[in-house]
Structure formats: structure tokens, C-alpha cells
Amino acid sequence: MPMYQPSSRRTEGFEVSGGGQVLDLETAVKDGILGGGGGVVVHHSCVNGEKFDLKKMIEELDSIEVPSVFICPISLEPMQDPVTLCTGQTYERSNILKWFSLGHFTCPTTMQELWDNSITPNSTLYQLIYSWFTQKYLAMKKRSEDVQGRALELLETLKKVKGQARVQALKELRQLVSAHDSAKKTVVDNAGLALVSSLLGPFTTHAVGSEAIGILVNLDFTLDAKANLRQPAKISLMVDILNEGSIDTKINCTRLIEILMDGEDFESEIVSSLSLLVGVLRLVKDKRHSNGVLAGLRLLKLICSHESVRNSVLSIGAVPQLVELLPNLNPECLELGLYVLEALSTLPEGGLALKNCPGAIPTIVKLLMKVSESCTQFALSILWAVCKLAPEECAALAVDAGLAAKLLLVIQSGCNPVLKQRSAELLKLCSLNYTATLFISKCKLTRTIQ
């Protein structure tokens, strides 16, 4: 159970004693020294006839920093019904009653034995908590209304302006929807999705396209909106911007294409463009931007889930480029990279590309049992495809890279039975070209393991 150690200190500009008592409540609320600041002063449970629910306000303001005096020492959450013990310490009513129900008759903070187990509502602290949260809540609502109003103004502006003025309006709208959920909802509810989508076309400048795509990736799509954006002219513009835009624009393009690929009605021909695949692979290879590597691999995984596109991915030399990246990828990216290579290895051309790629087998052998069970599964499938393609050459190379010992680790581990079975089959395949003694020698195994 988390314990709170009180201390005499200043918290957001007001003095707090060890017992959690607030000094000079009236001044604290009036002067806004708890961070209310906006001149909104609330002493009762309603403003202009509108009643606010404290629980709801706390939930909606969960991301802001709350003065420590409002925090229950037991739950470390803002108090909604503060009560004070005979020791002077204040707690949330439900938390202290639970403490008593567990057989404790001490003060959780000081561990003093209680000489009186009664609890007294701390109405002074409650009023301050309510006032502080109401001020913050009203300020948040006002900001939200301002944001919604500005979003509507920008949508109207976009219907009228062109050129640089359109770029500026789009840029401001992109910043709004990136930072405020209320702006996203306003755009969607007022036909903004269709309006921004209509700006993408064969004659759209990259400046307009980049900002429009930055807006679209933050919105929720209907099926009709997705169908509209899958038009060849719009996809072509996205591909152009993916190959020529800034790193943020490239990431937004990959995210938008990924969104458009989601759905049963998606046709894989849309993403079979070599220019698209080259742009995605170029993004994946840019080690300076890890978020770009992740975005590119996510899209590449989705593309390779469509078997009809895999030959196109192979044709741009994806295998050696991905193999080269593997050792330096973080676990999330590594799993995506191995997924792509495993998907490509299911094609004869993919297996051949892996076989002919220098360092591919040793690199993939090292990844067995190193990161996750999923990575091990993908690596095993890749090695199986390659070794089965050319057992004498590839199996020997894999054994020299330490494959046998890794396979025994898999067999003896708590991995799922399918992985263990595949490991046993691969181990048997690798041993076919050796005598038992030579295989043991090659694998550096003991007779006990044999």
C-alpha cells in the first residue's frame, strides 16, 4: 500500500502543515494561488446555475498536476470526500474506512494508535478542492470552445482561399487537430474530412498535400472516406510526397496509407507501385529517425501480408537491405523486420534471395531465443525455408553459426509445442550431412546432450 510522508512545505504558493490543513482558504481561492489564476472564483457547488460533479471533473482533468494537499495519502489520488482523524491527518473517506475494516486502528501516515476512531468531514478542504477543480475545469472548457470555434473558422477559410493562404490555414488546422481532441471532433462533425480530402489530387502542390495529409492522419475515417482517398490520383500524390517530403511528412504518408489499407475491401494493387515500395524502404533505412523506421516497417509488414505484392518487394532488393538492418533494430522493429523476411521467404525467389545474401544465415541464427518468442518463430521459419532450399550448403553454414545449440535451447525451453517441433525438424535436417560424431563435434555438444 503506498504510504505518504507529510512535511511542512509550500505547495503551488500556499503553506501546508503536517496535518494537511490549508491556511487562509478565502485568500487562496480568491487570489488563485492554487493555480486557478483565471479569475473564476467558486465557493459553492454550482456556477450560474450549472452544477458540476467533482468526480467527473477529476476524471477529465486527470493529466494535470494536483496540489499535494488534495491527495489522499493512502490512494495517492485526489480526495472527493476528505475526512480528518483525531491525529489531524486527512484522508479520502472510503480509503480510511477500508483501512479500519482491515483491522488497523492506527493513523496510516504517522502510525500513531488512535485514541478516538471517529472521523470528521473536512468541509474546508472539500470547498478548496472543489473550487480548484472547478476553476481548472471551466478554463479547460473555455479553451476547448475556443479551439472548436477556431477549427470551424479555418474550415470556412479553406473553402475560399488558395495558394499560400491555403497552406497557412491547413498548417494551423493540422496543429489544432494534433493537439486537441475537440478540434478533431469539430472537423469530422462539420464535413471537414471530405473538405480536406478534396484538396488532394493530381494538381495539388506538395506544400498543400503535406499539410492535408498531416490533418487526415489524426482523424477517424468512415468507409466512404477511405474509398475516396484510395483514388489513384490521391494515392499517387501520397507516394510522391513520401519520396520527397520531410521526415514528418514521410511518416504521415506511411501512417495514412496504413489506415487506408485497413479493411476487407482494400485492393492490394493500390500498394504495388514500385515507387511506393522504394519510398517505404528508404524510410526504413534512415537510421537517423527511429520513429520513421518503425512507421516504415509497420507499413511494409502490412504490404507483405498481401501475397500478390511480395514479388514486387523482392524486386527492389528488400532482402539484403533488411538483413543489414536487423542487428541494430530495437525489439519492436526487429519483430516487424523478421515478419517481412519470413513472408518473403515463403516465395521460392525469397528463399533464394536469403540464401544468396551474405551474412543472412549467421545474423538470423543469432536472433533465435534472443528477443521474443515471436522473433524466434519468424527466425525459425526463415532458416527452415533457406536450409530446405539448399541443405548441404545452408545447413552447414547454419551449424557453423551455432544453430544446433540454439535449437536445443528452444526444444528445452517453455516455448509452444509448434516451435519445439519445428526446431526438432530443423535440427534433424542439419544433421543429415554429418556422422553422429562429427555433428556432435561441429555443434560442440557433450555426450550428455547427445
Give the pLDDT confidence score for residue 189 in this predicted structure: 93
Angle subtended by helix axes 274-285 and 247-261, to nearest 10: 130
The whole-model pTM stands at 0.69
Query: How confident is the model over 53-83, as pLDDT tens digits?
Result: 888 888 877 777 888 899 999 999 999 999 9
Give me the percent of the chain exceeding a pLDDT of 90: 54
Q: In whole angstroms, what is the distance from residue 404 CA to residue 420 CA? A: 13
Give the pLDDT confidence score for residue 437 in this predicted structure: 60
Give the pLDDT confidence score for residue 440 in this predicted structure: 62
C-alpha cell at 31: 487570489
Give the pLDDT confidence score for residue 432 in this predicted structure: 75
Please name the residue that has the C-alpha cell 522493429. Answer: 333
Query: How confident is the model over 391-439, as pLDDT tens digits?
Result: 888 888 888 888 888 888 888 887 788 888 888 888 888 777 666 665 6
The alpha carbon of 14 is separated from its chain's Cα centroid by a whole number of angstroms, namely 38
What is the DSSP code string of 149-182?
A: HHHHHHHHHHTT--HHHHHHHHHHHHHHHHH-HH
What is the DSSP code string of 190-234?
A: TTHHHHHHHT-STT--HHHHHHHHHHHTTSPPPHHHHHHHTSHHH
Query: How confident is the model over 27-38, as pLDDT tens digits?
Result: 454 444 444 444
Contact 394, 355 (CB under 8 A): yes
Give the pLDDT confidence score for residue 394 in this predicted structure: 86
Q: In whole angstroms, what is the distance from residue 378 CA to residue 440 CA? A: 26
Which of 143, 128, 123 has the alpha carbon at shortest distance from 60?
A: 143
Contact 144, 38 (CB under 8 A): no
The 8-class DSSP code of residue 47 comes to E
Query: Which residues, given as ranges, of the chain have pLDDT below 50?
Result: 1-27, 29-45, 446-450
Contact 430, 403 (CB under 8 A): yes
Query: How confident is the model over 314-340, as pLDDT tens digits?
Result: 999 999 999 999 999 999 999 999 999
Q: In whole angstroms, what is the distance from residue 69 CA to residue 6 CA? A: 9
Give the pLDDT confidence score for residue 11 in this predicted structure: 36
